[in-house]
Amino acid sequence: MPQQKRGKMKTIHSLLLIFLISFSFSCGSDVPVTYVESTGNETSTFARLTIEGMMCERACGTKIAKELQSIPGVLTASVNFEDGRLDNYATVTWDEKMTSPEAMADVVNGIADGKLYKVKGIEVTKPKSKETSLRMGSVSDDENQVSDQLPLLKIFWFLEKLISRPQ
């Protein structure tokens, strides 16, 4: 193998190892997440992220929406910004089997090394269903499996970003 490729592979392996070690010691997101049942006819789950630190719609809003849309499993992301308002909002629909509200908060909080934005809370609205009303707010086995798979999804997301970065 040429020396340049070998050096590149060592760099990727080193970064992956650092990422895995740091991820294994992280405590996860501290953002409070509340779950509510839809009062309308929505058919998909969506989240409303309360975000502090946005200064404008064009740069801040676009950056946040773009970063949210880069997460595997996110279907749509939009930002509701109003000048002068302390907290603004991002609304996201996603595949619950691929990501979580906490992962979305981590991405937004990580923009600019965490110096610009802070997700203060997330409200997840789930569509009405017989299962939802029977569970009365308890966590299902499917939701536990999603959270167990998040470390692996974050690793793949990180590697995709690393590999697609221009040289």
Q: Name the residue ranges covered by the structural domains of the chain.
A: 29-164
Adjacent-strand bridge partners of 91: 48, 78
In this prediction, residue 151 has a pLDDT band, given cuts at 50, 70 and 90, of low
CATH architecture of 29-164: 2-Layer Sandwich (3.30)
Instruction: Tell me if 60 sits within 8 A of 54, measured CB to CB.
Output: yes
pTM beyond 0.75: no
Q: How far is CA 6 from CA 2, 12, 13, 77, 162, in A?
A: 6, 10, 10, 39, 16
The residue with tokens 């880069």 is 70
| Coil, strand or helix at 90 | strand
Residue 163's pLDDT is what?
74
Least confident range from 24-33, 73-82, 83-92, 151-160: namely 24-33
Helix and strand numbers (H, E) in the chain are 5, 5
Q: Which two three-digit tokens encode residue 167?
A: 């040289």
Q: Which two three-digit tokens encode residue 4?
A: 């340049």
In this prediction, residue 42 has a pLDDT band, given cuts at 50, 70 and 90, of confident
Instruction: Tell me if 103 sits within 8 A of 152, measured CB to CB.
Output: no
Q: Which residue has the higher pLDDT, 37 or 21?
A: 37
Residue 133's pLDDT is what?
45
Burial of 164 (0-12, 13-18, 19+ CB in 10 A): exposed
